[in-house]
Structure 1
């Protein structure tokens, strides 16, 4: 079952506003509590303001249907808060009964496939009645409106939407794999340059592409998938900037990080690199970005496609 909470989350992101909404009579209208500008393409492909829309007609999305759309929205200070285009994924939003006059649900029911729209929706009502009673965040003023920019791609039945979602996920996975393959070539060259510049010796490489140097051999059992391993580590970028360390992590009290090896609970480069070590070993792991966090940005200190270096010590190996 498709649910609103699954497809529409008030997540913060950076951004790009919907573009291309041009035309005559470029003004807002208000019908049944909904304030809007809705645009459709004319025969020449130019977007024109449709003017006032009869929300009770049969041309818009209906309750029970699913709308695939691109959406961004901003607060009263004109700060962009969300943009679906950043995630490379359109939103799939089931149309439900309108919980208040001037709601996002009404906006969807006023649009046809191919339409673009700008909507002003009361923030208090939106968070209280559409976002499950969540309190307003500090960057949204009480009593203010949020401005939504929406481009409707498709309007489908729930069954057709689920089939489209599956196809879209498969295409996204294929695209991500192709980008990762290309990025691996780029990262591999950078890692080899790093190895040469830092005069690292006895460098080895796993089948998946992790470079490792055993700086102190261990005498204990070799780590294997399914083992519970304890690892001390220091994580750095190739420029030497440290981003994480088990030695001074207040959450763990400076204890080694413990996890089941080969179970996907850490980045792939760790699952692959740690299994090359014996208990007591110290090593350097050089991990290409597709085996680390890939295209994900993890805040301003972890850009997308970051190559990572970890200095690790395999403290313990348990069955």
Structure 2
């Protein structure tokens, strides 16, 4: 997971500002290899000051083989921000490698000590061709620079970084769980109100929090974890806007969806609710967002924390 491919994650986000910088000395410098930079060092009073020109023999920055834990954002020549780690809620870790070209991002990392903030201009053509090994996307102009804003939090060995990474991921999971529990209560109130407004009788609730209404009972075997099930479905928001339907999906020849139940192949709400049904059942599932896609945005039609309605038909249950 400590890969330099983490440099490029095409996520639109807000600009990473360098807080409390001393604007009286805001000059850019350029190395002999062509890397344009300005580096700010945090002083004891908490303010930042431009370190000025970094001598070629300066070895105080990160070294090859070490890992830099940082917050980073970068933007193209049109000032469109393409990535901001702060929007992800946690810093990123990048191992320092041999520079892939003169004026590279690897060289930028080697100029930073823990606590430093830096602004670097890196040639986009060379970055994609020699560091990423990928074609340059159309929203980046050939011959232009990408501007990187980096705040170095730590410089560590790979072993130390791996320990920190595991701890950060554990903390992120715990925080996400707390947010999900709060959101589940919010969604539950909305679903109860929806049931009243839509006059959906006989709604039942699974232990995890999915509401389901059996509109036509099935007579076949009860679905259970490990079974191969086949389902036709129509997905809508609570406002009635249809998002997709297996009965109208030319990519799948309008065929029903088949999967193994209870194996995490689908959202949690499906794994839970479909186990309440028998083969042949038709039902409406109301899935709170933490049991669907949670905080993930899945395009303009499905923002974060979307409650989803599925009208399904359990076509077949194949016992395993």
Task: State TM-score, norm by structure 2.
Answer: 0.96
Instruction: Please tell me whether residue 89 in structure 1 is matched to residue 90 in structure 2.
Output: yes
Measure the CA separation in 2 of the matches of 1:93 and 1:55: 23
Note the C-alpha offset of 1:234: 0.6
Aligned in 2, Cα 1:17/1:2: closer, same or farther, shift over 3 Å?
A: closer
Q: Is the 8 A contact 1:18 1:151 kept in 2?
A: no
Give the deviation of 1:8 after TM superposition: 2.9
Distance 1:230 1:243, change over 3 A: same
Q: Deviations over 1:248-304 (max 9, x none)?
A: 111111110111100000000000011111111000000111000001111111111
What CA distance in whole angstroms lies between the structure 2 residues aligned with 1:290 and 1:210?
10
What's the counterpart of residue 164 of structure 1?
A: 164
Q: 1:314 matched to which residue of 2?
A: 314
Contact 1:8 1:91 in 2 (8 A): no
What's 1:36 paired with?
Answer: 37
Whether the 8 Å CA contact 1:16–1:85 is kept in 2: the answer is no
Structure 1 CA distance for aligned equivalents of residues 57 and 274 of structure 2: 62
Counting only pairs closer than 5 Å after superposition, residues 179-190 of structure 1 correspond to structure 2 as 179-190=179-190
In structure 1, runs of 5+ residues without a counterpart are none
The answer on whether the counterparts of 1:21 and 1:39 sit within 8 Å (CA) in structure 2 is no
CA RMSD of aligned residues (A): 1.2
Question: How many residue pairs end up in the alignment?
Answer: 317
Q: Distance in 1 between matches of 2:280 and 2:117?
A: 61
CA contact (8 A) 2:43 2:49 kept: yes
Q: Could you tell me which residue of structure 1 aligns to residue 137 of structure 2? A: 137
What secondary structure does 1:247 align onto?
Answer: helix
Flag the 1:67–1:28 CA change in 2: closer, same or farther, 3 A. same
Q: In structure 2, what is the equivalent of residue 12 of structure 1?
A: 11
Aligned to 2:108: 107
What is the rounded CA distance, in whole Å, between the counterparts of 2:297 and 2:61 in structure 1?
A: 37
Contact kept? 1:64, 1:94, Cα under 8 Å? yes
Q: Matches of 2:20 and 2:158 in 1, distance apart?
A: 29
1:55 shift after superposition: 4.2
Aligned counterparts of 2:255 and 2:118: Cα–Cα separation in 1: 54
Q: State the alpha-carbon separation in 2 of the partners of residues 56 and 302 from structure 1.
A: 52
Residue aligned with 1:311, SS: strand
1:21 deviates by: 5.4
1:251 aligned residue:
251
Alpha-carbon spacing, 1:316–1:114, altered in 2? closer, same or farther (3 Å):
same
Show the counterpart of 2:48: 47
| TM-score, normalization by structure 1 | 0.97
Is this contact kept in 1: 2:99–2:106, CA < 8 A?
Answer: yes
- Within the alignment, does 1:65 sit opposite 2:66 as a pair? yes
Tell me, in whole angstroms, the C-alpha distance in 2 between the residues paired with 1:9 and 1:148: 11
Give how far 1:75 is off. 0.7
* CA offsets 1:93-115 (integer angstroms, 9 cap, x no match): 00001111111011111011111
Unpaired segments ≥5 residues, structure 2? none
Contact 2:296/2:303 (CA < 8 Å) preserved in 1? Answer: yes
Does the CA-based 8 Å contact 2:71-2:153 persist in structure 1?
yes
